[in-house]
Amino acid sequence: MNGSPRTALITGGAGFIGSNLAERLLNQPGVRVRIFDNLSRRGVRHNLDWLQSLPGSKRLSIIQGDVRDAKAVQDVVRNVTEIYHLAAQVAVTTSLDDPGSDFNVNALGTLNVLEAARNSGRKPFFLYTSTNKVYGSLENLPVEVEGSRYRVSGPMFQGVNESERLDFHSPYGCSKGAADQYVHDYARIFDLPTVVFRMSCIAGPRQFGNEDQGWVAHFLYSVLAGRPITIYGNGCQVRDVLHVHDLIDAMMAVREAEDNTRGQIFNLGGGMERVVSVIEMLREIERRTGSPLHLEYRDTRPGDQPLYISDTSKLQRYTDWRPYRSLDHIFEDIHRFWVKSREAIAINAMTRRHTPSELVAQEVA
Protein backbone atom coordinates (compact mmCIF):
# COMPACT_ATOMS: atom_id res chain seq x y z
CA MET A 1 0.00 0.00 0.00
CA ASN A 2 3.02 2.27 0.54
CA GLY A 3 1.21 5.09 2.28
CA SER A 4 -1.75 5.25 -0.10
CA PRO A 5 -5.17 5.91 1.50
CA ARG A 6 -6.53 2.79 3.17
CA THR A 7 -10.06 1.47 2.74
CA ALA A 8 -10.72 -1.67 4.75
CA LEU A 9 -13.61 -3.99 3.95
CA ILE A 10 -14.93 -6.20 6.75
CA THR A 11 -17.38 -8.87 5.63
CA GLY A 12 -19.52 -9.83 8.60
CA GLY A 13 -18.34 -6.60 10.14
CA ALA A 14 -21.39 -6.09 12.35
CA GLY A 15 -20.67 -9.23 14.37
CA PHE A 16 -18.58 -9.90 17.44
CA ILE A 17 -15.10 -9.94 15.92
CA GLY A 18 -16.00 -7.59 13.08
CA SER A 19 -17.25 -4.79 15.32
CA ASN A 20 -14.13 -5.00 17.50
CA LEU A 21 -11.98 -4.88 14.36
CA ALA A 22 -13.93 -1.93 12.97
CA GLU A 23 -13.39 -0.02 16.20
CA ARG A 24 -9.63 -0.59 16.00
CA LEU A 25 -9.44 0.50 12.36
CA LEU A 26 -11.52 3.62 13.01
CA ASN A 27 -9.01 4.56 15.70
CA GLN A 28 -6.31 4.71 13.02
CA PRO A 29 -6.24 8.17 11.40
CA GLY A 30 -7.54 8.30 7.85
CA VAL A 31 -8.58 4.66 7.51
CA ARG A 32 -11.97 4.25 5.88
CA VAL A 33 -13.96 1.23 7.05
CA ARG A 34 -16.60 -0.48 4.92
CA ILE A 35 -18.82 -3.06 6.63
CA PHE A 36 -20.64 -5.62 4.47
CA ASP A 37 -23.13 -7.68 6.45
CA ASN A 38 -26.52 -9.25 5.85
CA LEU A 39 -27.56 -8.18 9.40
CA SER A 40 -29.25 -11.54 9.97
CA ARG A 41 -27.82 -12.29 13.39
CA ARG A 42 -29.27 -11.03 16.63
CA GLY A 43 -27.27 -8.28 18.31
CA VAL A 44 -25.61 -6.90 15.20
CA ARG A 45 -27.73 -3.75 15.10
CA HIS A 46 -26.69 -3.07 18.68
CA ASN A 47 -23.07 -3.32 17.54
CA LEU A 48 -23.69 -0.96 14.61
CA ASP A 49 -25.31 1.63 16.87
CA TRP A 50 -22.20 1.49 19.04
CA LEU A 51 -19.84 1.86 16.07
CA GLN A 52 -21.80 4.83 14.74
CA SER A 53 -21.38 6.57 18.11
CA LEU A 54 -17.58 6.39 18.01
CA PRO A 55 -15.16 9.14 17.03
CA GLY A 56 -14.16 8.47 13.44
CA SER A 57 -17.56 7.06 12.52
CA LYS A 58 -17.75 9.52 9.61
CA ARG A 59 -15.22 7.21 7.93
CA LEU A 60 -17.55 4.24 8.44
CA SER A 61 -19.94 2.99 5.77
CA ILE A 62 -22.38 0.10 6.21
CA ILE A 63 -23.68 -1.90 3.26
CA GLN A 64 -26.31 -4.56 3.82
CA GLY A 65 -25.62 -7.52 1.57
CA ASP A 66 -24.77 -11.19 1.42
CA VAL A 67 -21.51 -12.88 0.40
CA ARG A 68 -23.56 -15.38 -1.63
CA ASP A 69 -24.45 -12.51 -4.00
CA ALA A 70 -21.42 -12.35 -6.32
CA LYS A 71 -22.49 -9.04 -7.92
CA ALA A 72 -22.98 -7.35 -4.55
CA VAL A 73 -19.60 -8.62 -3.41
CA GLN A 74 -17.92 -7.37 -6.58
CA ASP A 75 -19.41 -3.91 -6.01
CA VAL A 76 -18.39 -3.67 -2.36
CA VAL A 77 -14.79 -4.81 -3.01
CA ARG A 78 -14.22 -2.00 -5.51
CA ASN A 79 -11.32 0.29 -4.47
CA VAL A 80 -10.54 -1.44 -1.16
CA THR A 81 -6.94 -1.86 -0.04
CA GLU A 82 -7.55 -4.64 2.48
CA ILE A 83 -10.22 -7.27 3.11
CA TYR A 84 -11.01 -8.99 6.40
CA HIS A 85 -13.30 -11.84 5.46
CA LEU A 86 -15.23 -12.78 8.61
CA ALA A 87 -18.71 -13.47 7.20
CA ALA A 88 -19.62 -17.08 7.84
CA GLN A 89 -22.14 -19.64 8.96
CA VAL A 90 -20.57 -20.52 12.30
CA ALA A 91 -22.56 -23.35 13.89
CA VAL A 92 -21.85 -27.06 13.50
CA THR A 93 -25.50 -27.78 14.37
CA THR A 94 -26.77 -25.53 11.58
CA SER A 95 -24.43 -27.22 9.11
CA LEU A 96 -25.92 -30.58 10.07
CA ASP A 97 -29.46 -29.27 9.56
CA ASP A 98 -28.72 -27.57 6.24
CA PRO A 99 -25.37 -28.52 4.67
CA GLY A 100 -26.23 -26.76 1.42
CA SER A 101 -26.68 -23.35 2.99
CA ASP A 102 -23.57 -23.89 5.10
CA PHE A 103 -21.56 -24.62 1.93
CA ASN A 104 -23.00 -21.63 0.05
CA VAL A 105 -22.13 -19.18 2.81
CA ASN A 106 -18.73 -20.50 3.84
CA ALA A 107 -17.23 -21.99 0.68
CA LEU A 108 -19.02 -20.27 -2.20
CA GLY A 109 -19.23 -16.98 -0.28
CA THR A 110 -15.48 -17.02 0.27
CA LEU A 111 -14.85 -17.82 -3.39
CA ASN A 112 -17.01 -14.83 -4.34
CA VAL A 113 -14.90 -12.53 -2.15
CA LEU A 114 -11.65 -13.99 -3.51
CA GLU A 115 -12.80 -13.57 -7.09
CA ALA A 116 -13.88 -10.00 -6.47
CA ALA A 117 -10.47 -9.27 -4.95
CA ARG A 118 -8.67 -10.92 -7.88
CA ASN A 119 -10.74 -9.11 -10.49
CA SER A 120 -10.35 -5.73 -8.77
CA GLY A 121 -6.79 -5.51 -10.09
CA ARG A 122 -5.62 -3.95 -6.79
CA LYS A 123 -4.40 -7.12 -5.04
CA PRO A 124 -5.79 -6.08 -1.64
CA PHE A 125 -4.44 -7.67 1.51
CA PHE A 126 -6.84 -10.53 2.34
CA LEU A 127 -7.27 -12.07 5.80
CA TYR A 128 -9.55 -15.08 6.25
CA THR A 129 -10.69 -16.35 9.65
CA SER A 130 -10.74 -20.13 9.50
CA THR A 131 -11.17 -22.54 12.40
CA ASN A 132 -9.44 -25.30 14.32
CA LYS A 133 -12.26 -27.57 13.11
CA VAL A 134 -10.25 -28.11 9.91
CA TYR A 135 -8.12 -30.50 12.01
CA GLY A 136 -11.13 -32.71 12.75
CA SER A 137 -11.48 -34.58 16.03
CA LEU A 138 -7.70 -35.01 16.51
CA GLU A 139 -8.14 -38.72 17.13
CA ASN A 140 -4.37 -39.28 16.92
CA LEU A 141 -3.72 -36.94 19.84
CA PRO A 142 -3.45 -39.16 22.96
CA VAL A 143 -5.47 -37.63 25.80
CA GLU A 144 -6.51 -38.72 29.26
CA VAL A 145 -8.55 -37.14 32.03
CA GLU A 146 -6.55 -35.57 34.84
CA GLY A 147 -8.67 -33.93 37.49
CA SER A 148 -11.21 -31.66 35.79
CA ARG A 149 -9.62 -31.55 32.35
CA TYR A 150 -8.17 -33.58 29.52
CA ARG A 151 -4.42 -33.51 29.11
CA VAL A 152 -2.11 -34.91 26.45
CA SER A 153 -0.27 -38.01 27.53
CA GLY A 154 3.22 -38.77 26.32
CA PRO A 155 5.99 -36.34 25.23
CA MET A 156 5.94 -32.65 26.02
CA PHE A 157 3.00 -31.06 24.18
CA GLN A 158 3.18 -27.42 23.12
CA GLY A 159 -0.06 -27.20 21.18
CA VAL A 160 -1.31 -28.05 17.70
CA ASN A 161 0.81 -26.52 14.96
CA GLU A 162 0.17 -25.93 11.27
CA SER A 163 1.71 -29.25 10.24
CA GLU A 164 -1.24 -31.14 11.75
CA ARG A 165 -3.05 -32.99 8.98
CA LEU A 166 -6.37 -31.66 7.78
CA ASP A 167 -9.29 -33.92 8.66
CA PHE A 168 -12.58 -32.09 8.17
CA HIS A 169 -15.31 -33.49 10.42
CA SER A 170 -18.90 -32.20 9.88
CA PRO A 171 -20.29 -30.11 7.02
CA TYR A 172 -19.10 -27.01 8.87
CA GLY A 173 -15.53 -28.32 8.97
CA CYS A 174 -15.73 -29.17 5.27
CA SER A 175 -17.07 -25.77 4.18
CA LYS A 176 -14.61 -23.79 6.29
CA GLY A 177 -11.77 -26.09 5.28
CA ALA A 178 -12.56 -25.74 1.58
CA ALA A 179 -12.58 -21.95 1.94
CA ASP A 180 -9.35 -22.10 3.96
CA GLN A 181 -7.63 -23.94 1.09
CA TYR A 182 -9.02 -21.62 -1.59
CA VAL A 183 -7.67 -18.60 0.27
CA HIS A 184 -4.27 -20.26 0.66
CA ASP A 185 -4.11 -21.25 -2.99
CA TYR A 186 -5.10 -17.81 -4.32
CA ALA A 187 -1.84 -16.52 -2.85
CA ARG A 188 0.13 -19.12 -4.81
CA ILE A 189 -1.82 -19.09 -8.07
CA PHE A 190 -2.96 -15.46 -8.36
CA ASP A 191 -0.37 -13.73 -6.14
CA LEU A 192 -3.00 -12.29 -3.81
CA PRO A 193 -1.50 -11.36 -0.42
CA THR A 194 -3.68 -13.69 1.64
CA VAL A 195 -3.37 -14.88 5.23
CA VAL A 196 -5.38 -17.63 6.95
CA PHE A 197 -5.99 -17.70 10.71
CA ARG A 198 -7.07 -21.11 12.03
CA MET A 199 -8.62 -19.91 15.24
CA SER A 200 -9.39 -21.55 18.55
CA CYS A 201 -11.78 -19.97 21.09
CA ILE A 202 -12.11 -16.18 20.83
CA ALA A 203 -13.91 -14.34 23.62
CA GLY A 204 -14.49 -10.81 24.85
CA PRO A 205 -16.77 -7.78 24.71
CA ARG A 206 -19.53 -7.50 22.09
CA GLN A 207 -20.04 -11.27 22.18
CA PHE A 208 -23.73 -12.03 22.64
CA GLY A 209 -23.12 -15.47 23.96
CA ASN A 210 -25.44 -17.94 22.32
CA GLU A 211 -24.60 -21.36 20.93
CA ASP A 212 -23.23 -19.83 17.75
CA GLN A 213 -21.22 -16.98 19.19
CA GLY A 214 -18.98 -18.24 21.93
CA TRP A 215 -19.26 -20.61 24.84
CA VAL A 216 -17.54 -18.44 27.48
CA ALA A 217 -20.01 -15.57 27.12
CA HIS A 218 -22.89 -18.01 26.65
CA PHE A 219 -22.07 -19.68 29.95
CA LEU A 220 -21.72 -16.39 31.83
CA TYR A 221 -24.97 -14.91 30.54
CA SER A 222 -26.87 -18.16 31.14
CA VAL A 223 -25.66 -18.39 34.75
CA LEU A 224 -26.48 -14.73 35.42
CA ALA A 225 -29.98 -15.29 34.02
CA GLY A 226 -30.50 -18.52 35.96
CA ARG A 227 -30.90 -20.59 32.80
CA PRO A 228 -29.89 -24.25 32.76
CA ILE A 229 -26.90 -25.30 30.68
CA THR A 230 -26.54 -28.63 28.91
CA ILE A 231 -23.03 -30.07 28.69
CA TYR A 232 -22.30 -32.70 26.06
CA GLY A 233 -19.70 -35.11 27.40
CA ASN A 234 -17.98 -34.98 30.76
CA GLY A 235 -17.12 -31.25 30.80
CA CYS A 236 -13.39 -31.94 30.74
CA GLN A 237 -13.02 -30.66 27.15
CA VAL A 238 -10.13 -28.18 27.02
CA ARG A 239 -9.66 -25.06 24.90
CA ASP A 240 -7.19 -22.19 24.79
CA VAL A 241 -9.10 -18.92 25.01
CA LEU A 242 -7.88 -15.73 23.33
CA HIS A 243 -9.15 -12.24 24.07
CA VAL A 244 -10.68 -10.67 20.99
CA HIS A 245 -8.41 -7.63 21.35
CA ASP A 246 -5.36 -9.91 21.19
CA LEU A 247 -6.87 -11.34 18.00
CA ILE A 248 -7.22 -7.82 16.57
CA ASP A 249 -3.58 -7.17 17.50
CA ALA A 250 -2.67 -10.28 15.47
CA MET A 251 -4.69 -9.04 12.49
CA MET A 252 -2.88 -5.73 12.56
CA ALA A 253 0.47 -7.49 12.93
CA VAL A 254 0.08 -9.74 9.87
CA ARG A 255 -1.07 -6.84 7.70
CA GLU A 256 1.85 -4.68 8.79
CA ALA A 257 4.23 -7.58 8.03
CA GLU A 258 2.50 -8.39 4.74
CA ASP A 259 5.75 -9.00 2.84
CA ASN A 260 6.54 -11.85 5.26
CA THR A 261 3.05 -13.15 6.05
CA ARG A 262 1.45 -13.25 2.59
CA GLY A 263 0.49 -16.78 1.60
CA GLN A 264 0.86 -18.10 5.14
CA ILE A 265 -1.45 -20.04 7.46
CA PHE A 266 -1.27 -19.45 11.21
CA ASN A 267 -2.85 -21.25 14.15
CA LEU A 268 -4.18 -18.70 16.60
CA GLY A 269 -5.50 -19.03 20.14
CA GLY A 270 -4.59 -18.35 23.73
CA GLY A 271 -1.86 -20.99 23.80
CA MET A 272 -0.68 -23.04 26.75
CA GLU A 273 -0.98 -20.08 29.15
CA ARG A 274 -4.72 -19.60 28.59
CA VAL A 275 -6.10 -23.11 28.85
CA VAL A 276 -9.34 -23.96 30.61
CA SER A 277 -11.83 -26.82 30.58
CA VAL A 278 -15.59 -26.46 30.25
CA ILE A 279 -16.28 -27.41 33.85
CA GLU A 280 -13.42 -25.26 35.16
CA MET A 281 -14.86 -22.23 33.39
CA LEU A 282 -18.32 -22.95 34.80
CA ARG A 283 -16.96 -23.29 38.33
CA GLU A 284 -15.08 -20.02 37.95
CA ILE A 285 -18.25 -18.30 36.75
CA GLU A 286 -20.13 -19.72 39.72
CA ARG A 287 -17.43 -18.46 42.09
CA ARG A 288 -17.30 -14.98 40.58
CA THR A 289 -21.04 -14.40 40.25
CA GLY A 290 -22.26 -16.23 43.34
CA SER A 291 -24.99 -17.73 41.16
CA PRO A 292 -25.56 -21.50 41.30
CA LEU A 293 -25.05 -23.69 38.26
CA HIS A 294 -27.94 -25.63 36.73
CA LEU A 295 -26.27 -28.29 34.61
CA GLU A 296 -27.57 -31.19 32.56
CA TYR A 297 -25.18 -33.74 31.02
CA ARG A 298 -25.73 -35.57 27.75
CA ASP A 299 -23.65 -37.88 25.57
CA THR A 300 -20.65 -36.49 23.73
CA ARG A 301 -21.46 -35.51 20.18
CA PRO A 302 -19.49 -36.93 17.23
CA GLY A 303 -16.48 -34.94 16.11
CA ASP A 304 -15.84 -33.08 19.33
CA GLN A 305 -12.19 -32.36 20.06
CA PRO A 306 -11.62 -33.36 23.69
CA LEU A 307 -8.62 -31.03 23.72
CA TYR A 308 -7.48 -28.25 21.44
CA ILE A 309 -4.61 -25.88 22.26
CA SER A 310 -2.97 -23.70 19.62
CA ASP A 311 0.75 -23.58 19.02
CA THR A 312 1.14 -19.92 18.02
CA SER A 313 4.92 -19.99 17.65
CA LYS A 314 4.80 -19.61 13.86
CA LEU A 315 2.82 -16.38 14.09
CA GLN A 316 5.21 -15.13 16.73
CA ARG A 317 8.19 -15.88 14.47
CA TYR A 318 6.68 -14.03 11.53
CA THR A 319 5.52 -10.96 13.49
CA ASP A 320 6.09 -9.26 16.81
CA TRP A 321 2.68 -10.42 18.08
CA ARG A 322 2.21 -11.79 21.58
CA PRO A 323 -1.03 -12.30 23.52
CA TYR A 324 -1.17 -10.04 26.58
CA ARG A 325 -4.67 -10.38 28.06
CA SER A 326 -5.31 -13.09 30.65
CA LEU A 327 -8.34 -15.28 31.28
CA ASP A 328 -9.24 -12.93 34.14
CA HIS A 329 -9.13 -10.01 31.72
CA ILE A 330 -11.39 -11.90 29.31
CA PHE A 331 -13.94 -12.68 32.00
CA GLU A 332 -13.96 -9.12 33.34
CA ASP A 333 -14.44 -7.59 29.89
CA ILE A 334 -17.33 -9.93 29.03
CA HIS A 335 -18.98 -9.19 32.37
CA ARG A 336 -18.52 -5.45 31.83
CA PHE A 337 -20.18 -5.74 28.43
CA TRP A 338 -23.07 -7.63 30.03
CA VAL A 339 -23.56 -4.86 32.59
CA LYS A 340 -23.73 -2.22 29.84
CA SER A 341 -25.77 -4.27 27.37
CA ARG A 342 -27.89 -6.65 29.44
CA GLU A 343 -31.16 -5.60 27.79
CA ALA A 344 -29.84 -6.35 24.28
CA ILE A 345 -28.31 -9.61 25.52
CA ALA A 346 -31.62 -10.65 27.11
CA ILE A 347 -33.49 -9.98 23.87
CA ASN A 348 -30.92 -12.01 21.99
CA ALA A 349 -31.26 -14.90 24.45
CA MET A 350 -35.03 -15.01 24.09
CA THR A 351 -34.73 -15.45 20.32
CA ARG A 352 -32.06 -18.15 20.29
CA ARG A 353 -32.87 -21.46 18.68
CA HIS A 354 -32.24 -23.85 21.58
CA THR A 355 -34.04 -23.99 24.92
CA PRO A 356 -32.72 -24.58 27.50
CA SER A 357 -29.30 -23.04 26.87
CA GLU A 358 -27.01 -25.65 25.35
CA LEU A 359 -23.38 -25.93 24.50
CA VAL A 360 -22.93 -28.01 21.36
CA ALA A 361 -19.73 -29.97 21.86
CA GLN A 362 -18.35 -29.16 18.43
CA GLU A 363 -18.87 -25.46 19.08
CA VAL A 364 -16.71 -25.30 22.21
CA ALA A 365 -14.08 -23.64 20.01
Active site residues: 172
Helices (H), 226-304: 244-256, 258-261, 278-289
Alpha-carbon distance of 13 to 129, in angstroms, equals 12
User: Which H/E stretch holds residue 63?
Assistant: strand 60-64
Beta carbons within 8 Å of 359's beta carbon, 6+ residues apart: 211, 215, 218, 219, 229, 230, 231, 232, 278
Query: Is cis: bond before 155, omega within 30 of 0?
Result: no
**How far from the centroid of its chain's Cα atoms is residue 71's Cα?**
26
CB of 101 closer than 8 Å to CB of 30: no
- Contact between 31 and 8 (Cβ < 8 Å): yes
Distance CA 65, CA 193 (A): 25
Task: Name, in order, each residue with C-beta under 8 angstroms of 114's C-beta and a sequence gap of 6 or more.
Answer: 126, 182, 183, 186, 192
Would you give the distance in Å from CA 27 to the centre of its chain?
A: 21
Query: N- to C-terminal Cα distance for the chain?
Result: 34
**Angle between helix 70-77 and 109-120 (nearest 10):** 40
